[in-house]
Chains A and B, each alone.
Chain A
Amino acid sequence: MEAQNYQLNEAKMFADVNEGTAIVINSITGIYYGMNKFGTAVFENLQAGSSTREILDAVKAIPGSGENLEEVLEAFVQTLLGFDIVIPVSGGSPRIAEIDPEVAKEDGFVPECTEYRDVQELLFADPIHEVDVDEGWKPE
C-alpha cells in the first residue's frame, strides 16, 4: 500500500462523528453515509493527517489483525473515493495513526461505509412478499 494522504472533500461533503460513528452528507445530492466504528477510526485518522500506510502500520500492530488487512483497507479507501467522501492530497508531516484495538476487533478489522438513500435502507434481509388483497398471503 502506498503512503497516500486524503482529506474530506469539503466542496460537497459535510461530516460529523457521534458516539464513534461517522455520518457524512453529500450536500449536492442529499445522499448520506454512515461508517462502522472501525471505519470511523480510519476516517478520523485520515482527517487528522495520517497516510494510508501509517494507518495500516497502526492496525497491523494490533494482535489478530489478519493477513488481508492491506486489501481490506485499500477497499475501504476506494469506497470513500467512490462516494466522493475524500480526495487525495499531497503528504504532510509523518504522523503515528491511533486506532483503538477494541474498536478494530469489535468490527472484525473490517472498516465499512454504507450509503443511505431513501427506501433502500428499509430493505432488510427478509424477502418482500407480493400480496393480493383477494388472495391474502401465507408462507409457502
Chain B
Amino acid sequence: MQISLNADSGSRLHSALKRYVTEDHPLVKELYLNLGDLRTVRVLSYYPGTEGILTREFHFSIVPPVPEPDATVYFWRETSVADLLKRCVGLNIEPDEDETNKNWLEIFLRGGNGELTPIASMDLESEWGARLSFGNEYYYGLDGLGPGSWFKEAHYFVHALFRIVNTPESFLVHGACVGVDGKGVLICARGGGGKSTLSVLSMLRGFEYVSDDFLILERKGTRVEASPIYSFITLSPQMYEHMYDDLGKARFLGVSPWKGKYILDMSGYGDHFRSHYPIKALLFPEITLDAKCPGVFPCSPAEKGKAIVQMAHSTIVQNTMNGFKGGQRDSDFMRCAVQTLGGIPCYRIVLSPDIEANVECLRYFIKTQ
C-alpha cells in the first residue's frame, strides 16, 4: 500500500512523530558517532536495554558530543506499527482489499513538481517495524530487540548510515578491508564470498584491519581511504572453531538469526583497527575447493567490472531489504562507487581450502606490491 503526503502533511507528521518518540519514551542512551571525517551522527535510543550494546557496537566511532551533528537517528520500541499514524496524526489507513501489499505501507512526500520522495516504510504487522526519515532525521520504531536479535535489527543502522554518509566524496559499501604496513586491500564479494574468514583471520595473524562487512570509503583526490563502522564481526561456527584459540580478546555476543553466524565484539583488538586506511588494490575472491594453493592474479577489465558490480549491487541489496529506500538515490551511489573503485587496480585471489595459506598468500601479495 502506498500513500503520498503534501509538504504540509509531511511536516505535521514529522513534528508529531518527534514529539511522540521523545516525549512519550524515556531516553536511555545518547551517543555521537564520527564516520570517516565527514559526518557526525547523533544516536538517541529510547529503547530500553540497548545502552550497552550500542556502546560496544560503535566502540571505535564514538566521539564527544558536537553542537550540530549532520544527522540524528532515533530508536524506540514500537509494538503497534499499524496504530502509529493514527496515534501521531490521527490518520486512518485502510487498504483496498485488492491491493497486493496490504501489510506493507510506503509513504512518499509529494514535491511541488509532483516528484515523489520516499520517507517511510512500515510493516503494519510490526515484524519489521516502522522506519521513517525526514531530511537528516531517521526514525526506527522496532520491537523485540534483544542480544540475539540486535545484529539483525542493527542492519537498520546500516540503512540509515548508508544514506547519511553517501556524498559525492564518500559512501558506505558492503565489503571487507585489511592491510599490511599501511597498504590496504578492499575485498569485494557478495555474502558468503569469503570476506569475513579472510579478513578476520588476517587480523588475527597480525594484519591491520578496517572491517569484515560494512565500511566507509572516502575519495581524497586520487587517494581512497576506508574507515570502520562496527567493532562487531560475524563468523560461521566452523570458522569460529578454527580460530577459537586466537580469539582470546573477542567477546561472544550471540548468534545471528539470519544465517546462524556467531557475533563477536572485537573491540579488544583495538591495536589492529584502522581508520582512514589507504586502499591500494581491490581483491575479488574466488573460492576453489580443488585449488592446491592460493594465488593472486591481475583482473581483466571484464573481471574488474564484475568485482565492482558485486560490491555495488551487494551494497544496494543490503540496503533495500524489504523495499525500504527512505530517500536514498541508488544511481548517485552507483555512479560514485563505480567511478571511485574503477581507478584502483583489481586482482583475483584464488582461495584454497587451506585458510592459513590464503592469509600468507595475501600477506605476500600486499608486501610485494
Contacts and interface: CB of A to CB of B under 8 A. Distances in A.
Contact of B91 (A8, A32, A137): A137
A1 interface: no
B96 to A, nearest CB: 4
A31 interface: yes
A57 interface: no
Contacts of B313: 16, 18, 23, 25, 32
B116 interface: yes
A127 B95 CA distance: 11
Contact of A124 (B2, B4, B309): B2
B330 interface: yes
Interface in A81-140: 116-119, 122-133, 136-139
A68 interface: no
B325 A137 contact: no
B308 interface: yes
Interface in A24-72: 24-25, 27-32
B335 interface: yes
B193 to A, nearest CB: 10
B99 A126 contact: yes
Given A27-B338, A31-B334, A132-B9, A16 B2 contact: no
B5 A116 contact: no
Contacts of B6: 130, 132
Interface stretch (B56-64, B100-108, B264-272): B100-108
Given A129-B3, A131-B5, A30 B101 contact: no
B350 interface: no
A132 B11 CA distance: 12
Contacts of B336: 30
Interface in B295-326: 301-302, 304-306, 308-310, 312-313, 316, 323, 325
Contacts, number: 127
B110 interface: yes
B347 interface: no
A133 B5 contact: yes
B331 interface: yes
A88 to B, nearest CB: 18
A51 to B, nearest CB: 20
B295 to A, nearest CB: 22
A5 B238 CA distance: 47
A131 B4 contact: yes
Given A14-B305, A16-B310, A122-B325, A128 B2 contact: yes
Interface string B1-37: 1111110110011000000000000000000000000
Given A14-B306, A122-B106, A27 B2 contact: no
Contacts of B100: 124-126
A133 B95 contact: no
Contacts of B68: none
B159 interface: no
B92 A137 contact: yes
Q: Which among B13, B100, B108, B330 has the greatest number of chain A C-beta atoms within 10 A?
A: B330
Assign chain B's interface to a size class.
35 or more
B90 interface: yes
A69 B333 CA distance: 37
B92 A136 contact: yes
B4 A133 contact: no
A119 B3 contact: no
A25 B309 contact: yes
A126 B305 contact: no
A139 B93 CA distance: 9
Contacts of B106: 122
A116 B305 contact: no
Of A15, A27, A28, most buried by chain B (CB within 10 Å of CB) is: A27
A28 B331 CA distance: 10
A10 B310 CA distance: 16
Contacts of A129: 1-4
A30 B310 contact: no
Contact of B94 (A10, A29, A30, A139): A139
Interface of A: 8, 10, 13-16, 18, 23-25, 27-32, 116-119, 122-133, 136-139
13 contacts: A8-B305, A16-B309, A32-B313, A32-B331, A117-B331, A118-B329, A122-B323, A128-B2, A130-B110, A131-B9, A132-B6, A137-B3, A138-B92
Given A8-B305, A133-B90, 9 more contacts: A15-B309, A23-B313, A25-B312, A116-B330, A117-B330, A118-B330, A133-B89, A137-B3, A138-B92
Which A-B residue pairs are the 8 nearest by beta carbons? Answer: A30-B335, A14-B305, A30-B331, A30-B334, A16-B309, A133-B9, A27-B338, A16-B306
